[in-house]
Amino acid sequence: MATASPRSTVKATSSRIVSAPSGNATVLPSPRTSRAMAGEAGACMRLSARSPTESAMLGRTMRRSGGMFEPYAGATRANQWAIGRVRGFALIFATLALCLGLFAPLHAATPAKTPATAQRTVLVMGDSLSAAYGLAASQGWVALTAGRIAKEKPTWRVVNASISGETTAGGAARIDGELQRVKPKLVVIALGGNDGLRGLPLTQTKANLERMIKASKTAGAQVLLVGMRIPPNYGREYTQGFEGNYTALAKQYTLPFVPFLLEPIARDRANFQDDNIHPVASAQPKLRDHVWKTLGPMLK
């Protein structure tokens, strides 16, 4: 894998219808009644307008003959008045039945609200390699991974908190705030490349990575550690120690581990932009697939 000066790293990128049951019998009102029933819905609100005196008078004036009310012919004026009132009450009760028949189904037809299933979050803490440096954000391996998760693991989502130029010190300083803001169930830590390119002390890099791992686990999140390697021109001791930091931490905390993010593309110069550091768009699906082998089984 070709290299470039750390200064080549530049600014950050963001990443029914319900029917009411009918009664035992149905009374059809006269045409006159029907016209009245078709009036304003306010008729329903006038049901209480009849006084107790009118009800008592009806009881005194109505007489039964063979179980039926006497016919209108031969009836006294009082009886005619009472019968008229009975018809009025029949209209009122019919209107009430109509109102109940109209509004009850509307209430019953309201569907119950179903709570949405809460999505769990994958938080990615990385540098420019995860921030799609030099590309559209949608072309980066993290965005491509988010697309696969949306299709295959819809109860999960991805938040990419990667920043171009980020070091492990920057990640360690940001991790608590990101954990509180996102509340992830899984944290992908893909930092360290800039530490190596700058030749920062190995003990410092390891301590920063460990701080991020411990904070994530304390917050109840799984951790996927993604390692990095640096070119041999930094010297054998430093390059081996740098790679060994990731291996040691993965073993110490029993973490799922991707030893080298760029493994599937590192040997082909055509996979990199002009700076010889950042992968081109056509190489990003390979990085997605590489990380997915370990990440996918963790999304249960």
CATH of the domain at 161: 3.40.50.1110
Q: State residue 257 phi and psi, 5-degree precision.
A: -145, 130
Of 44-53, 236-245, 282-291, which gets the smallest average pLDDT? 44-53
In whole angstroms, give the CA distance from residue 163 to residue 180.
18
Q: Quickly state the pLDDT bin for 159 (edges 50, 70, 90).
A: very high
% residues pLDDT > 70 (the chain): 61
Q: Which of 2-11, 35-44, 211-220, 264-273 has the lowest mean pLDDT?
A: 2-11
pLDDT 10s digits, 22-59 = 344 434 444 444 444 444 444 444 434 444 444 444 44
- Residue 73's φ and ψ, nearest 5 degrees, are -60, 130
Structure tokens that stand for 216 in this block: 């994530």
- Span 214-230, mean pLDDT? 98
Say if residue 151 is in the same domain as residue 229.
yes
Higher pLDDT, 35 or 292: 292
Which residues span the domain enclosing 174? 116-298
The alpha helices in 66-188, defined as continuous H runs, are: 77-108, 141-152, 168-182
Indicate whether 172 and 204 sit together in one domain. Answer: yes
123 plus 102 within the same structural domain: no
Residues 127-149: what's their mean pLDDT? 98
pLDDT recorded at residue 43: 42
Mean pLDDT of all residues in 216-240:
97
Specify the DSSP class assigned to residue 185. S
Query: Which of 184, 271, 169 minimizes the C-alpha distance to 220?
Result: 184
Sort strands 156-160 and 186-190 into parallel, antiparallel or unpaired. Answer: unpaired
Q: Count up the domains in the chain and report the number.
A: 2
Q: Within this chain, do residues 123 and 101 fall inside the same structural domain, yes or no?
A: no
Lowest mean per-residue pLDDT among 59-63, 92-96, 244-248: 59-63
Determine the 3-state secondary structure of 155 from DSSP.
coil
| Cα 130-263-268 angle, rounded to 5 deg | 100
pLDDT on residue 118: 82
Q: Are 51 and 83 members of one domain? A: yes
Are residues 148 and 36 part of one domain? Answer: no
Evaluate if residue 70 carries a pLDDT over 80. Answer: no
Decide if 22 is inside a domain. no
Residue 142: pLDDT over 60: yes
Considering the domain architecture, whether residues 129 and 186 belong to the same structural domain is answered as yes
In this structure, the answer to whether residues 103 and 120 fall within a common structural domain is: no
Q: Look at residues 108, 135, 170 and tell me which one is the last residue of a structural domain.
A: 108
Domain identity same for 80 and 179: no
For residues 40 and 138, state if they share a domain: no
> Tokens 């010297």 map to which residue?
235
Q: How far is residue 136 from each of residues 76, 238, 276, measured CA to CA in Å?
A: 95, 34, 18
Determine the longest span between alpha carbons in the chain, in angstroms: 125
Asked if 257 contacts 294 with a C-beta cutoff of 8 angstroms, the reply is: yes
272-281, pLDDT tens digit by residue? 999 999 999 9
pTM of the model: 0.64
Residue 20 — pLDDT band, cuts 50, 70, 90? Answer: very low
Q: What span, in angstroms and rounded, lies between the C-alpha atoms of 228 and 238?
A: 13
- Catalytic amino acids? 128, 275, 278
- C-alpha 101/C-alpha 103 separation (Å) is 6
pLDDT digits (tens, 9 = 90+) for 77-136: 554 544 455 455 556 655 555 544 544 444 444 444 444 568 999 999 999 999 999 999
| Residue 25 identity (one-letter amino acid) | A
Residues 190, 226 contacting (CB under 8 angstroms):
yes
Residue 127, classed as helix, strand or coil, is: coil
Placement of tokens 């990380």 in the chain: 291
Which residues does 82 contact at the CB level (< 8 Å), separation at least 6?
57, 58, 61, 62
- DSSP annotation of 96 reads H
Q: Could you say which of 108, 124, 152 is where a domain stops? A: 108
d(C-alpha 86, C-alpha 67), whole Å: 16
